[in-house]
């Protein structure tokens, strides 16, 4: 059964006084499917050089990561709703800094 879909993600960034906030909204275009929204924040250390692109990248990456986790959770709920077991994937980071 061939399937093709196009989903759109709208990413908004706002920076104010060293803090960048990002909002990633997923639109699947499917009626009855709730939109998902991911959020991310980056704070610049006042002692660091002001490079807005870094705050944008961090906040956007965190918003997209949040959105991705929500999307995987929604898929796992759908799988379980069909009587199957979940994906079995652990979404916690194995090593490194928490996001």
Mean pLDDT, consecutive 10-residue stretches, the chain (99 aa), reads 92 95 92 88 94 96 97 90 67 52
Please give the model's pTM, rounded to 2 decimal places: 0.79
- Residue 96: per-residue pLDDT: 53
CATH number of 8-81: 3.30.160.240
Alpha helices, DSSP H, located in the chain: 52-81
């Amino acid at each position: 059964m061939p399937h093709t879909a196009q989903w759109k993600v709208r990413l908004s960034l706002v920076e104010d006084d060293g803090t960048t906030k990002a909002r990633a909204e997923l639109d699947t275009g499917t009626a009855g499917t709730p939109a998902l929204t991911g959020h991310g924040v980056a704070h610049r250390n006042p002692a660091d050089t002001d490079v807005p692109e870094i705050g944008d990248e961090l906040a956007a990456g965190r918003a997209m990561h949040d959105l991705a986790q929500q999307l995987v959770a929604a898929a796992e709920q759908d799988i379980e709703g069909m009587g199957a077991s979940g994906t079995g994937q652990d979404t916690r980071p194995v090593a490194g800094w928490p996001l």
